[in-house]
Amino acid sequence: AYRKIRLRAEDVQGKNVLTNFWGMDFTTDKLRSLVRKWQTLIEAHVDVKTTDNYALRMFCIAFTKRRPNQVKRTCYAQSSQIRQIRRKMREIMVNQATSCDLKDLVQKFIPEVIGKEIEKATSSIFPLQNVFIRKVKILKAPKFDLGKLMEVHGDYKEDVGVKVDRPAEDVPLEGEQEIVGA
């Protein structure tokens, strides 16, 4: 549970508040636990527009990984490799975000689909580990539309339990006496 997802209350219907995604961030402790010595940290950010006209800024973070049979303790990438990796990161983030709407994009953040794709695509340049979309900011949202919001909350139904009939007298049985301190 290291992703902090910000929600924005868009509409109130009785006792229910309809919210919408308003950004994502990593907890500080998770971010600090990833950063270590003897490896290269690579960051990239990109401004994208989803199909439903949300303007987002996505931040990605990745770390180099030692090759399986490597003896050397460090795994530093050359600056040309870092530039190549960063270019690939931006390309993948743009492709993923521009091809879907906000609801589908948020579904991609949770299982870290984009991070895994970046890891796979850049493995030929330099092996990476801990590739995450670490932050998402919403720069511009389209005009509020209740219909769109209801689409997001369409699968929601109220959790209501079934009423159970109880006998008039709830008296414990005589034979079952609890012995205290036994």
Q: 120: which 2 tokens?
A: 């796979």
Residue 19 lies in a domain: yes
HSE-up (13 A, CA, CB side) for residue 95: 11
* Residue 90: pLDDT band with limits 50, 70, 90: very high
- For the segment 144-173, the average pLDDT, to the nearest whole number, is 69
Residue 152 lies in a domain: no
Cα–Cα distance for residue pair 49/97, rounded to 1 Å? 7
What pLDDT is recorded for position 42?
93
* pLDDT digits 0-9 by tens, 108-142: 888 888 889 999 998 899 999 999 998 999 998 88
What percent of the chain has a predicted confidence (pLDDT) above 70?
88
What pLDDT is recorded for position 36?
92
Q: Is the pLDDT of residue 170 over 70?
A: no
Residue 87 lies in a domain: yes
* pLDDT digits 0-9 by tens, 55-76: 999 999 999 999 889 899 998 9
Q: Into how many domains does the chain fold?
A: 1
Q: 106: which 2 tokens?
A: 């948020």
Q: What's the CATH number where 90 sits?
A: 3.30.479.30
Q: Could you tell me how far CA 5 lies from the centroid of its own chain?
A: 7
Residue 64 lies in a domain: yes
Q: 145: which 2 tokens?
A: 């539309």
Residue 136 lies in a domain: yes
Cα–Cα distance for residue pair 153/18, rounded to 1 Å? 7
Q: Are 111 and 129 in contact (CB under 8 A)?
A: no
Residue 158 lies in a domain: no
Task: State the residue range of the domain holding 84.
Answer: 3-144
The residue ranking higher by pLDDT, 157 or 145, is 145
What pLDDT is recorded for position 41?
93
Q: Mean pLDDT, the chain, as a whole number?
A: 85
Residue 163 lies in a domain: no
Cα–Cα distance for residue pair 100/9, rounded to 1 Å? 23
